[in-house]
Amino acid sequence: MIALTKGQSRWGFACGRISVLTGQLMPYDYYLSLAGLERVEELFHRLQDTSLREHMFPGAITWEDWSTIIDVYVDELIASLRRDCPAPVLADMFALSEDYLNLKRAVLRMSSFPFTPRVFSEARLLEVASGAANLLPDVIRPAIAQLTALGADTQDPAVVDLVLDAAYLRHYLALARGVDAPMVLSWATERVLNKAISALWRAFRARINRKDLQQYFLPIDGITGILADMIEAGEPHAWGNIIPGRIGDVYREASESPEEERICRFEHLASNYLTQMARLTKLQTAGPERVAGFLWGVWVEAFNMKLVISGKLNHIDPDVLKGRVRETYV
């Protein structure tokens, strides 16, 4: 285990808030109980006991209503903690995924963005939409410029997704390096590796050729060699001896599942592994690791909430839902 940093008193205020906020997160068994409820109305009533209660509105009954409620809760919490963080890039790590959904629209020459701009301002997104990527961060500018040089009607959707997925992962690691906490960087590298594996796995299933994967997905600093070996090996069944460490163990375990369930099983097990790592940050009184661990806990909470709500609205079998609930931070 990489040691937690010490002497981080400047993080005291943010971590003091987190000590209180952690008590509002719900444990794993809570989501199992939600998955076992028979009536959707009872589920919505139970959710009033969670951190969502301040964001609920009358008449929220559809998936779109509840997805919006959860997204607003997470977005506002991250934005609030960002103001308290001595290194705001830490909060940016956990806001980045929605920024990239906005960025994708900009790359496709759209001028409206559904998510609150955090890492990329609306002005920057509009520049990208006009074909100018020169003011984006250095770590992603060449890749995005490659896309914006193409007309919107000539862009291959698979290539756009590959380039943006890789840009997101590079950007995520760059933000993690800016936190200056070895454990945060180690955890972020593990998360990036598992997301890169999932992306390549889906790309191989979609029959995207290896040349395109090498050209549009690589490099990703720190894990380029692993990913290059995976692409060179070809089909995912050959990856078990390439992926190192605990993520490799997770991959091999997931590969024992039925073919159609393997990717989802891998993502489930990888999330649980990252949560186990994140729980170690609760040993820290003040420091960036404590904030990072909590924000991952919020991400898992949002995932579990969306999983159960969607599952109930779509009449998914309770035992199937329970099997998909992810381990929680508390």
186 found inside a domain: yes
Long-range contacts of 83-87 (CB under 8 A, 24+ apart): 84/13, 84/14, 84/17, 85/11, 85/14, 85/288, 85/291, 86/10, 86/11, 86/14, 86/288, 87/178, 87/179, 87/180, 87/288
Local confidence band at 153 (pLDDT 50, 70, 90 cut-offs): low
User: Is pLDDT above 70 for 238?
Assistant: yes
Q: What is the pLDDT of residue 280?
A: 96
In this structure, are residues 116 and 80 in contact, taking their beta carbons and an 8 Å threshold? no
In this structure, are residues 253 and 269 in contact, taking their beta carbons and an 8 Å threshold? yes
**Domain span including residue 263:** 182-281
227 found inside a domain: yes
98 found inside a domain: no
Structure tokens given for 146: 């490659």
In this structure, are residues 111 and 88 in contact, taking their beta carbons and an 8 Å threshold? no
- Whether 202 and 227 share a structural domain: yes
Q: What is the pLDDT of residue 327?
A: 98
Amino acid letter at 75? D
Question: Within 13 Å and on the Cβ side, how many CA atoms surround 150?
Answer: 14
For residue 224, give the DSSP letter.
H
In this structure, are residues 326 and 272 in contact, taking their beta carbons and an 8 Å threshold? yes
User: Of 261, 281, 301, which residue sits at a domain end?
Assistant: 281
- Whether 255 and 304 share a structural domain: no
- Whether 209 and 265 share a structural domain: yes
Q: What is the arithmetic mean of pLDDT over 8-21?
A: 97
- Whether 188 and 274 share a structural domain: yes
pLDDT digits (tens, 9 = 90+) for 140-152: 999 999 888 766 5
- Whether 255 and 221 share a structural domain: yes
In this structure, are residues 237 and 214 in contact, taking their beta carbons and an 8 Å threshold? no
20 found inside a domain: yes
Alpha-carbon distance of 241 to 237, in angstroms, equals 9
110 found inside a domain: no
- Whether 209 and 274 share a structural domain: yes
Alpha-carbon distance of 13 to 193, in angstroms, equals 32
Compute CA 195 distance to the chain's CA centroid, rounded to the nearest angstrom. 8
Q: What is the pLDDT of residue 156?
A: 85
Structural domains in the chain (count): 2
Q: What is the arithmetic mean of pLDDT over 200-208?
A: 95
Nearest to 178 by CA among 228, 119, 97: 119
- Whether 326 and 243 share a structural domain: no
- Whether 293 and 258 share a structural domain: no
Q: What is the pLDDT of residue 154?
A: 61
Q: What is the pLDDT of residue 60?
A: 87
Q: What is the pLDDT of residue 58?
A: 87
- Whether 256 and 302 share a structural domain: no
User: Is pLDDT above 80 for 248?
Assistant: yes
Q: What is the arithmetic mean of pLDDT over 52-80?
A: 94
Scanning the structure block, which residue is given the tokens 């999330």?
271
Q: What is the pLDDT of residue 149?
A: 77
Structure tokens given for 134: 């020169």
Nearest to 227 by CA among 251, 243, 250: 243
pLDDT digits (tens, 9 = 90+) for 284-327: 999 999 999 999 999 999 999 999 999 999 999 999 999 999 99
Helix axes 288-313, 63-84, angle to 10 degrees: 170
Mean pLDDT of the chain: 95
121 found inside a domain: no
300 found inside a domain: yes
Q: What is the pLDDT of residue 147?
A: 86
In this structure, are residues 188 and 169 in contact, taking their beta carbons and an 8 Å threshold? no
Q: What is the pLDDT of residue 59?
A: 87
pLDDT digits (tens, 9 = 90+) for 77-136: 999 999 999 999 999 999 999 999 999 999 999 999 999 999 999 999 999 999 999 999
pTM of the model: 0.95
Q: What is the pLDDT of residue 297?
A: 98
- Whether 189 and 261 share a structural domain: yes
Q: What is the pLDDT of residue 151?
A: 62
83 found inside a domain: yes
